Structure 1
Amino acid sequence: MSTEPWRSPMRERAEDLLRDFVSRADELLQTQDRMNGLLSAVVGLAEDLSLETVLDRLVRSACELVGARYGALGVIGEDRSLSHFITVGIDEQGIRSIGDLPTGHGVLGLLIREPRPLRLHDLGQHPIASGFPQNHPPMKTFLGVPVRVRDVVFGNLYLTEKTGGLDFTPEDEDLAVALAAAAGVAIQNARHFDDSRRRQKWLEAGMELSSRLIVTPRPGDAENLDLVSETALRVSDSALAVIAVPAGDGALRCRSSLGVQSLQAGREIKASGVVDDVIRTGKSVMVRDPQQVFDDGVVEKLGPVLVCALGHSGSDNGVLILARQSGSGPFTQAEVESSALFGSRIGLALDLARVHALREQNLLFTDRERIARDLHDLVIQRLFAAGLSIQSLRRYTPDPVAHERIAAVTTELDDTIRKLRDTIYSLRTGGNQEPLTGRILKVAEETSRGYAVVPNVAFSGPVDDTVREDVAGHLLSVLSEGLSNAARHSGAADIRVAVTASADDVELVISDNGRGFEEPALTSGLANMRHRAEMLGGSCSIDSEPGMGTRVRWRVGLT
C-alpha cells in the first residue's frame, strides 16, 4: 500500500516553510546590509570637519545607500531659494552643458515650502514639475528628504533614478531620513569647526599685522595701508579690499585698494548710510547688495560686502571695506565678529604707531631746536666777528689786490652766514615743507648759478612719496657736491641729473661730457659721497676717463 498520498501535503508544507524561512533570512540579511551601510555612511560623515567635504560625502553616501544614480543637495538661502547646489553622478562637462544650477522651482521648490519626505514614480509627471533644461540627463524615479540642523531646515537631499528602473521604497525613504538626521549633526559640527578656523585666521593675522604696524615709522603711509588691505583680502577670501577715510561732506576718500576693480588712491566714494553707521558705532556690518556701498561703476562682478571700522567709533583711521565676487556666499556671523576685532586691533596699532612717530618727531624737533640755537649763538656770531676782523685789515695795507681778496673773503663769509640762517630756519620748521623734487631743482639751480651750463634734471618714480627725509638730506648733499665738481672742473657743455625712486631704493646719477680724469687719490668731496652712501647701506660709484666725461652713480635702499 503506497504512502505517497498522505506524505505529499506534508512535503509541500515543509517546502513552503523552508522557502518562507529563506525569504525572511534574505530580508534580514538585506536589512543588516542596509543598516551596516547606514552606519558606515554616518561614520564617514564624521571623518572630516570641512563643511564642503561633509556635504559632498552626504550626497555620495545617500546614492550608494539607496541605489540612486544621481544625487544632489540644495542648500537653502535666506531668501528661501537654493543658494548652493552639490551634485553627484554628473561630471563637470555635463554640469557646464546644462547651464545655470537650479534655484528652487518646481518639485525642488515644493520641498523647500513643505519640508517633508517625497517619493515619486515619475518626476516629470508631478503637477508642478517645471521640466528639465537642455542637455539635462533623463530622470524619472525621485526621492527627496529635508536635512535639518537643530530643527531648522538646512537644505534638501534629492535622489533620482534608482538602480534597475525600480521605484524608491519606504525602506529607502527611512534610510535617507536617518542619514539626513545624522548629517544634520555633522553639518553643525562642520559649521562650528569652520567658524573656529576662520576666527583663528582673523585673530592670528590681526596679531601679526598689529605687531608690525606698531613699530613702523610711517603708520599712515600707503605702503602700510596696502599691507592691511592685503592681509584682510587674504583672510576673508574676498575679491576687493578698500580702506577709505572721511573726506568731508559725507564722502569717503580711498587710501588703499587691492583686488579686482580696485579703486585709484585718492578717489572719492559716494556717501553711504551703511559706512556712516560703521564709522559712528564702530560695529562691523555685512550687506548683500554692493550698491549699498559702492557706485554703479564699481559693483560689477561684486557680491556680499563687509564693512568694519579701523579703531573705535569716530576714529580717523576710516573703514575697511571687503567685497566678495558676485555669486559667492555671504560673510558669516563669525566673520563679521572677527572683522570687528581685527579692525579694532589694527586701528589701535595705527594709533600707537602714530603716537610713537609723533613722539620721535617731537624729540627730533627738540634736538633740531638745540642745534639751531647753538648755530645761531656760537657759529654765526663767530663768523660775523671774523668777517669784521678781516674787514679791519683794509687799513693795514694799501695793496688793491689785497683789498679785493679781503672783499671776496668777506662776501664768502656773508654768503655762509646767510646759508647758516637758512639752515637754522629749516631746522626750526622741520625742513620738510617743500617736496623733494622742488628741493632738487633748487639745488641744481643754485649750484649752476654763475656757470654757463644749466643741468638737465629728470625724475622717475614716486620721488616725493617714497624717499625718507634722512635719505633726502644725504641725497641733496651728494647732488650739490657732484654738480659743483662738474660745473667747476669738468669743462662740460652738458650736465645731466637723473633721480629714480621706487618702493625699494632711490638712485641719483650725475653725468657730464667733460674732460674726465684718471682715477685720482680720494679727494674730500668724492670721499664724502661714498661715506654718505655707506652710512645708509648704499653704494657710490664714480666712472671717468680722460676725454670721456664723468658719471657718478649714488644708490641707497629705502626698506
Structure 2
Amino acid sequence: MAPVPPPGPPSLPEGASAEFLARVPKLLDAMRSVGGGRELRSTLSRICETAADLTGARCAALGVLDEDGDGLADFVHHGLDEATARRAGHLPGGRKGLLAALVTDPEPVRSTGPPGNPGAGGSPEHRPPTRSFLGVPVKARGQTFGHLYLTGKHAAEPFNDYDLAMVRVLATEAGLAIGNVRLHEAAQQRERWIDGSVAVTTALLAGGDTDDALQEVAEQARRLSGAAAGIVLLPADGGGLEIAAVAAPHRTNSLGVVIPPENGIVAELLSGRPLFVDDAATDPRLEAGPVRAYGPIMLLPLCRDGRVLGGLVMPRARGERPFTRTERALGHQFASQAALALTMADAQRDRERLAVFEDRDRIARDLHDLVIQRLFATGMMLGSAQRRAAVPEVRDGVGDAVDELDVTIQEIRSAIFALQQPAEAPAGLRTRVLREISMAAVPLGFTPSHRFTGPVDTAVGDLTGKNLIAALRETLSNAFRHAHATRIEVAVDATAVLPDGRRGVRLTVSDDGVGVPEGGRRSGLHNLRRRAESVGGASRLGPGIAADGGGTTVRWEAPY
C-alpha cells in the first residue's frame, strides 16, 4: 500500500489512449446526470455506479463521514450484497487498514496483492477480498467529507492512472454535493435555533408567568435539539436541583422532583461545566438521575454574569446518534439566552413583589391614618348620641352599633399588623393560599372571599400543594387581566373525591366576569391542565357566579 503521488498528466501505455479517450464522453454524460440530481443519496448512488462502470470495478462504495469525523453518517454502495454492506458500513476498529488510511491521511491509495488478505490485498475488513483496490478521498473546499473506493477490477487487472483520474473527478463531484447539502442544513439549523431563542425571549417579554417562560425554554430545547425531552432545572431550597419544567411527548410526574446534591448531574451543572454523554447507561455520574434510561445527553448550565441559575437537560432516546460539535455549540448559545430569560424573569418578579410590598405599606398607612380615625370619630359621635337618647330601644341600638365599630377597629388593626409583617414563605398550604389571595387583592381592587374544607395543611403533599398554589396564582391573574370580575370566591376542599375514586384536594375559583371568550386564555388554561396532569389530576371549566350564570368557574383537582 502506498499513497499515489500527484504527478502530471499520466503517460499513455501502449494501446491505452484509445480506451481512455473512448471513456471521456461517457464520463461527461455521467457528470451531467450526476449534476442534475437533487437528492443527495441518489446522487451518491449514481456516482458509485458510474465509477464502477467506467473503471470496470466489480464493487464501489462511498462512505460519508459524520460532522465530527468519528464515524460514517452514510454508506452508499454498488455491487455489494446487503449483508456485506451492513458489515462494511462503519470505520474499522482501531483505525487500521486501507479504509482507515483514507480517513487519517486523505490521499488517493492504490494497492494490489494476493486475495484473501485484507491488509495486504487492498480490501478492508468485511469487504470482498480482491487483488485490486482504489481509494480516493471525497473532498471539496479543503474539507474531507468521506471516501470513494473500488475493488475487484475485471480480468484481475490493477487500477491504472486513467481509472484514478476519472474516480478523482467523480469524488470531487460527490464532495461538492455533500458540501452544498451540509451548508444548507447548517444554515437551516442555525435559523431554527435563532427562532427558538426569539420565541423564549418573546414569551418572557410578553409579561407572562415565569412558569410559562420556563416551559417555553423546555419545549424549544426539545424541539431544536431533536431530543426525547427538554428539562429545566433550578436550584432547590434545601440544596440540589428541582425539575421546574418538562417538555415530553408523554405525560410525566417528574415536575417538582428534586435531584439531591450528591447526584453527579448537580455537581457538574452547579460548577458551570457543560456535560456531554454519548450513553447515559454507561456514565456513573448519571446512575441515580432522571435521565438514566436515555442515550446521548447534553447537560448545559444556565449561567449569567458568572452565576449558575440552573441547568438545561436535553436527552435523546437510547441508540440515537450523539450530539455533534455544531449542535453542542448551538445548544450552549441557546442556554445562554435561556439564562438571560431567567435573569429577566427574576428581575420582573422582584419588581412585582416590590410593587406589592409598596401597596401593602400604603394600604396599611391609609387604614391607620384615615379609616381607623374616621371610625373612631364616628364611634364617639354615636356614643354622644346614645347618652342623649331618651328612648331605651334607640339607646340600646346605638350601643350595639358602637360595639360593632370597636370590633371593626380591632379587626382593621389586626389587618394592618399582618400587612406590615415580612412576606416570608409560610409552611402551611392554608397560609400560602391566603397570601396569594391577599396579594391578588391589590391589582383586583377587592379581596376574594375564601373557604377551606378538611385538613388542608396536613393531607396535601408538597408537590401537589406547590402546583395548587401555582394554579391559584394563574387563575387569579387571569381573572384580573381578562375576566374584569367584581367578585371572586376561592374554595380549597381537602376532602374531595376525584373521578377515579381517589381522595385528593380540589381548588375552585369562581368569578362573575365576562367568561372565557372564543380562543381566549388558551395559554393559561393549558398551563392549568398541564400542572394538574403532572400530578395525576385534572382541570376543567364551568359557569361562574354571576346572577345570570355568567362568569367562569375553574375546578383544579389532584390526589394528595
TM-score range, shorter chain: 0.5 to 0.7
Q: Deviations over 1:313-361 (max 9, x none)?
A: 5435212222333343333333333333322233223322322332233
**Cα separation, 1, equivalents of 2:546 and 2:396:** 38
Residue 64 (structure 1) aligned with residue 50 (structure 2): yes
Corresponding residue of 1:463: 468
CA–CA separation in structure 1 for the residues paired with 2:22 and 2:115 = 31
- Quote how far apart the aligned CAs of 1:77 are: 6.5
Would you say 1:244 and 2:233 are equivalent positions?
yes
Given that residues 62 and 148 in structure 2 are in contact (C-alpha distance below 8 angstroms), is that contact kept between their aligned partners in structure 1? yes
Q: 2:135 aligns with which of 142, 145, 160?
A: 145
Aligned mates of 2:203, 2:412 — CA distance in 1: 39
Is the alpha carbon distance of 1:23 and 1:383 closer, same or farther for their aligned partners in structure 2, counting shifts above 3 Å?
Answer: closer
Give, as a single letter, the amino acid of the residue that structure 2 aligns with 1:199. R
Q: CA deviation at 1:369?
A: 1.9
Aligned to 1:180, the other structure's residue is in SS state helix
Structure 2: distance between partners of 1:85 and 1:189 = 16
Match of 2:213 among 205, 211, 224: 224
Correspondence for 1:417: 409
Whether the 8 Å CA contact 1:251–1:270 is kept in 2: the answer is yes
Cα-to-partner distance string for 1:122-143 (whole Å, 9 max, x where unaligned): 97664788986xxx9x997985
Gaps in structure 1 of 5+ consecutive residues: 1-21, 484-495, 501-505, 510-528, 545-549
**TM-score, normalised via structure 1 length:** 0.64
Shift, 1:158, TM fit: 4.8
Cα distance, 1:208–1:437 mapped onto 2, change above 3 Å: same
Structure 1 CA distance, aligned partners of 2:238 and 2:378? 60
| Equivalent in 82, 97, 107 of residue 110 of structure 1 | 97
Question: Contact 1:252/1:271 (CA < 8 Å) preserved in 2?
Answer: no
Task: Report the 3-state secondary structure (helix = DSSP H, G, I; strand = E; otherwise coil) of the residue aligned with 2:46.
Answer: helix
Paired-residue identity, %: 25
**Count of matched residue pairs:** 473
Query: How many Å apart are 1:254 and its aligned residue?
Result: 2.5
Matches within 5 A, 1:139-178: 145-149=135-139, 154-159=145-150, 169-170=159-160, 171-178=162-169
User: Letter of the aligned partner of 2:91 in structure 1?
Assistant: G
The separation in 2 between residues aligned to 1:230 and 1:384, in whole angstroms, is 58
Quick check: 1:146–1:153 contact (8 Å CA) kept in 2?
no
Counterpart in 2 of 1:379? Answer: 371
Give 3-state SS (helix, strand or coil) of 1:29's partner.
helix
When structure 1 is superposed on structure 2, of 259-268 and 531-540 the one drifting more is 531-540
Shift of 1:379: 1.1
Distance of 1:464 and 1:55 partners within structure 2: 54
Structure 1 residues 324 and 508: CA distance shift in structure 2, 3 A: closer
Counterpart in the other structure of 1:479 = 489
In the alignment, is residue 305 of structure 1 matched against residue 294 of structure 2?
no
Partner of 1:363: 355
Measure, in 1, the Cα distance between the counterparts of 2:479 and 2:366: 24
Shift in Å at residue 226 of structure 1?
1.6
Bigger Rg, which one = 1
Aligned to 1:389: 381
Amino acid at match of 1:345: Q
Offset at residue 368 of structure 1 (A):
3.0
Provide the C-alpha distance between the structure 1 equivalents of 2:450 and 2:352, rounded to a whole number of angstroms.
36
* Residue 267, structure 1, aligned to residue 258, structure 2: yes
- 2:312 is aligned, of 311, 320, 326, to 320
Change (3 A) 1:85 1:99: same
Aligned residue type for 2:243: C
In structure 2, the gaps of 5 or more residues are 1-14, 103-107, 438-448, 500-506, 522-540
Q: Is the 8 A contact 1:530 1:540 kept in 2?
A: no
Deviation at 1:432, TM superposition (A): 9.1
* Counterpart-to-counterpart distance in 2, 1:357 and 1:126: 68
2:218–2:232: 8 Å Cα contact kept in structure 1?
A: yes
In 2, Cα distance between the equivalents of 1:299 and 1:243?
13
Q: In structure 1, what residue type is equivalent to 2:205? A: I
- Superposed, 1:384-463 pairs within 5 Å as 384-397=376-389, 401-402=393-394, 404-429=396-421, 462-463=467-468
- The Cα offsets for residues 53-93 of structure 1, whole Å up to 9 and x where unpaired, read as 545522432223423786543345799864434245699xx
Cα distance between partner residues in 1 of 2:383 and 2:299:
72
Preserved CA contact (<8 Å) 2:48 2:62: no
Aligned-residue CA RMSD (Å)? 5.4
Distance 1:165 1:402 in 2: 129
Cα distance in 2 for partners of 1:413, 1:166 equals 114
In 2, distance between residues paired with 1:215 and 1:28? Answer: 69
**Within the alignment, does 1:351 sit opposite 2:338 as a pair?**
no
Go from structure 1 to structure 2 and tell me whether the alpha carbon gap of 1:85 and 1:157 turns closer, same or farther (over 3 Å shift): same
Q: Give CA-to-partner distance per residue, 1:416-461, whole Å, 9 cap, x none.
A: 3233334434544588966775577999xxx999xxxx97899999
SS in 2 for 1:367: helix
- Return 529-538 or 337-346, whichever deviates more: 529-538
Following superposition, the deviation at residue 154 of structure 1 comes to: 4.2
Q: Cα–Cα, structure 1 residues 498 and 203, in superposed 2: closer, same or farther, change >3 Å?
A: same
Distance 1:106 1:340 in 2: 32
Task: Report the Cα distance in structure 2 between the residues aligned to 1:188 and 1:157, rounded to whole angstroms.
Answer: 15
Q: Deviations over 1:525-549 (max 9, x none)?
A: xxxx6359799999964599xxxxx
Aligned position for 1:512? none
- Given the alignment of the two structures, is residue 256 of structure 1 paired with residue 259 of structure 2, yes or no? no
- Which structure 2 residues correspond to residues 24-173 of structure 1 after superposition, within 5 A? 28-38=21-31, 40-41=33-34, 43-44=35-36, 53-54=39-40, 57-67=43-53, 72-76=61-65, 82-88=71-77, 102-105=89-92, 110-115=97-102, 116-117=108-109, 126=118, 145-149=135-139, 154-159=145-150, 169-170=159-160, 171-173=162-164
| Distance in 2 separating the partners of 1:217 and 1:328 | 35
Distance change in 2, residues 1:233/1:161 (3 Å): farther
Q: CA deviation at 1:230?
A: 0.8
State the 1:307 CA deviation. 3.3
State the distance in 2 between where 1:124 and 1:109 align. Answer: 17
Could you tell me whether the CA contact under 8 Å between 2:64 and 2:146 is conserved in 1?
Answer: yes
SS in 2 for 1:369: helix
Q: Flag the 1:246–1:378 CA change in 2: closer, same or farther, 3 A.
A: closer
SS of the residue corresponding to residue 296 of structure 2 reads strand
Task: Map residues 527-542 of structure 1 onto 2, 5 A cutoff.
Answer: 530=512, 541=544
Structure 2 letter corresponding to 1:227: E
Between stretches 239-248 and 223-232, larger displacement belongs to: 239-248
Instruction: Report the AA paired with residue 304 of structure 2.
Output: H
Write the distance in 2 (CA, Å) between the matches of 1:227 and 1:416: 47
* Distance in structure 2 (CA, Å) of the matches to 1:301 and 1:499: 32
Distance in 2 separating the partners of 1:464 and 1:448 = 14
Alpha-carbon distance in structure 2 between the residues aligned to 1:423 and 1:475:
24
The Cα shift of 1:285 comes to 5.5
The residue correspondences of 1:490-501 to structure 2 (distance < 5 A) are: none
**AA partner of residue 203 (structure 1):** I
CA contact 2:49–2:78 (8 Å) conserved in 1: no
Shift in alpha-carbon separation, 1:256–1:289, aligned structure 2, 3 A: same
SS at match of 2:309: coil
Decide which moves more: 394-403 or 345-354. Answer: 394-403
